[in-house]
Amino acid sequence: MLAGSMHGFANPARFLKLARLLTVPLLASGVLLVAASLGWGLFGAPPERLQGDSVRILFVHVPAAWLGMGGWTAIAIASLAELVWRHPLAGIAARAIALPGAFFALLCLLTGSLWGRPAWGTWWVWDGRLTSMLVLFFLYCAYMALADAATRDGQANSRIPSIFGLVGAVNIPIIHYSVLWWNSLHQPPSISMGKSEMAPEFLWGLLASTLGFSLIFGAVVLMRMRAILADQQAEARLRRRAMEGGDD
């Protein structure tokens, strides 16, 4: 059933029709949600009892962490779909996710560092959480280099980036459980399935900003998929024309 519904969007023409319809609404609703939640984060939310005003960084740091990790999870799922079901859009989706995923992983590291200085008294520590997040950023860079090299060599269907995308997913549970497995300055998760230790004035703003950034992420991925597909179609058309010219 899963494979059946996935293959419903295997046709690039059908996918493009849907992508054209969704890109702008996703982007617009994401921008509105982010503007509202960051406005709340800056001017509405109260300072926290222990962390003071630095707690406002939560509204940008947590969505960045979520999207950095979620991006690689999506790359792994798309890689699996490409390797197992040979889904024609899965590899394109994985390549389209890589740059926004890398951006949010880097943003998570930078905002975490900016939060760490006032909260912990240091910009950086080599503990499990921070180090595994840095490894995730390097994995994204390596994935993009592999995918670019495969495309440049005319092997856009190469399986190497997909295998790398799957293997790299090992790092995701390491990031998640690092604060439980090892001693860390980083706090353990405040939100888990169905329960939260966070005060409502932070929780709702955080959920809104996470949803808003996720919508923008979705719109960016659609834009990048449309760009890759358009490039491939233009390339194929030019190649066909060159071959027809050669036959004359």
Partner 1 sequence: MTENLNHWTFVTASYVLTIAGTAALTLHSWLAMRRAETRRERSREQ
Binding residues (CB under 8 A) for partner 1: these are 27, 34, 38, 41-42, 52-54, 56-57, 60-61, 64, 99-100, 103, 107, 110-111, 114-115, 117-118, 121, 213, 216, 219-220, 223-224, 226-228, 230-231, 233-234, 237-238, 241
**Which is nearer to partner 1, 199 or 230 (by Cβ)?**
230
Least distance (Å) between residue 27 CB and partner 1: 7
Least distance (Å) between residue 80 CB and partner 1: 25
**Which is nearer to partner 1, 26 or 78 (by Cβ)?**
26
Least distance (Å) between residue 55 CB and partner 1: 9
**Which is nearer to partner 1, 64 or 69 (by Cβ)?**
64
**Which is nearer to partner 1, 54 or 196 (by Cβ)?**
54
**Which is nearer to partner 1, 38 or 146 (by Cβ)?**
38
Least distance (Å) between residue 220 CB and partner 1: 5
Q: What is the 3-state secondary structure (H, E, C) of the chain?
A: CHHHHHHCCCCHHHHHHHHHHHHHHHHHHHHHHHHHHHHHHHHHCCCECCCEHHHHHHHHHHHHHHHHHHHHHHHHHHHHHHHHHCCCCHHHHHHHHHHHHHHHHHHHHHHHHHHHHHHHCCCCCCCHHHHHHHHHHHHHHHHHHHHHHHHHCCCCCCCHHHHHHHHHCCHHHHHHHHHHHCCCCCCCCCEECCEECCCHHHHHHHHHHHHHHHHHHHHHHHHHHHHHHHHHHHHHHHHHHHHHHHHC
Least distance (Å) between residue 200 CB and partner 1: 21
